[in-house]
DNA sequence: TTATAGATTGCCT
DNA sequence: GGCAATCTATAAT
């Protein structure tokens, strides 16, 4: 297996433009499926952190009991009712941030929760942010999984917080964007969403089939 | 004003 | 496999 850092240089990565706002101006389920294989990029001074999206979930609006938008706009979820292509970051369980991207036009809620990434760049910085101790840079999937496999983990690895990133436009140039390098998943599959109790039977979680960086104990 | 559940993670047995 | 940690938005009083 090639070392992820070698797949693409940061210079090549920096040439890729963000997915346009119209990409997100659709039903969250369609956006979630098409976001699989795209690259989440965090630009820092002199550094770039990047990971390929391998797992996500769609949340709808007032017709989805599991969605934060289910009971209408509040101070917390306002971004969901704004224009598409914006980051909705929330704090959960007293410990973790989760990253979503808003869908549909202003006035209509819907979003995609980014649940797992395959690390591509900035791995040493991710290791530090996660507070992990390895004997040298991690190269095996079993180690790399600890960086960004899970919604809380990937936010910590990429330094995504509500204060810093909530409301940020990820469809125009900035320090948090999603880009397309042409990669297309061979096969995707859908399952029920993780960790919810309402509308728990709906299959709105999407994964790249067989990808070792999908969250959960069995990957 | 108080209570409770939550789109998770990591440690313990 | 079980469960504590730790904060906050929202519901209940």
Segment A51-106, tens digit of pLDDT: 999 999 999 999 999 999 999 999 999 999 999 999 999 999 999 999 999 999 99
Higher pLDDT, A46 or A214: A214
Q: Does residue A6 surpass a pLDDT of 60?
A: no
Q: Which nucleotide is nearest to A152 (CA to C1')?
A: B8
User: Rounded mean pLDDT of A96-119?
Assistant: 98
**Cut 0.85: pTM above it:** yes
Which nucleotides of strand C come closer than 7 angstroms to any CB of the protein? 5-11
Q: Which nucleotide is nearest to A92 (CA to C1')?
A: B6
Higher pLDDT, A67 or A46: A67
What pLDDT does A218 receive? 61
Helix/strand/coil (H, E, C) string of chain A?
Answer: CCCHHHCCCHHHHHHCCECCHHHHCCCHHHHHHHHCCCEEEEEECCEEEEEEEEEEEEECCCCCCCCCCCCCCCCCCHHHHCCCCEEEEEEECCCEEEEEEECCCCCCCCEEEEEEEEEEECHHHHHHHHCCCCCCCCCCHHHHHHHHECHHHHHHHCCCCHHHHCCCECCCCCCEEEECCCCCCCCEEEECCCCCCCCCCCCCEEEECCCCCCCCCCC
Q: Does residue A2 surpass a pLDDT of 60?
A: no
> Gap from A100 CA to C9 C1', in Å?
18
Q: Report the interhelical angle of A123-130 vs A141-148 (nearest 10°).
A: 60
Q: Which residues does A167 contact at the CB level (< 8 Å), separation at least 6?
A: A79, A82, A86, A87, A88
> Gap from A71 CA to C3 C1', in Å?
31
- Tokens read off for A46: 């002199």
User: Rounded mean pLDDT of A206-210?
Assistant: 97
Residues with CB under 7 A from strand B: A 57, 59, 66-69, 88, 92-96, 98, 100, 111, 113, 130, 146, 150-154, 193-198, 215
């Amino acid at each position: 297996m090639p070392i992820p850092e070698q797949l693409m240089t940061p210079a090549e990565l920096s040439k890729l433009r963000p997915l346009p706002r119209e990409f997100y101006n659709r039903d969250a389920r369609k956006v979630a499926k098409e976001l699989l294989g795209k690259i989440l990029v965090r630009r820092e001074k002199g550094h770039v952190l990047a990971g390929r999206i391998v797992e996500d979930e769609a949340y709808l609006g007032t017709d989805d009991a599991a969605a934060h938008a289910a009971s209408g706009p509040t101070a917390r979820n306002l971004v969901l009712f704004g224009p598409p292509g914006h980051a909705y970051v929330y704090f959960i369980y007293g410990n973790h941030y989760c990253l979503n991207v808003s869908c549909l036009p202003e006035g209509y809620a819907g979003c995609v929760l980014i649940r797992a990434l395959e690390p591509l760049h900035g791995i040493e910085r991710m290791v530090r942010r996660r507070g992990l101790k390895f004997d040298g840079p991690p190269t095996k999937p079993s180690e790399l999984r600890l960086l960004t496999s899970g919604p809380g983990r990937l936010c910590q690895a990429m330094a995504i917080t509500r204060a810093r990133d909530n409301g940020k436009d990820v469809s125009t140039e900035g320090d948090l964007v999603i880009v397309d390098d042409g990669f297309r998943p061979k096969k995707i599959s859908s399952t029920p969403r993780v960790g919810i109790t309402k509308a728990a039977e709906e299959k709105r979680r999407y994964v790249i089939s067989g990808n070792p960086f999908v969250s959960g104990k069995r990957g």
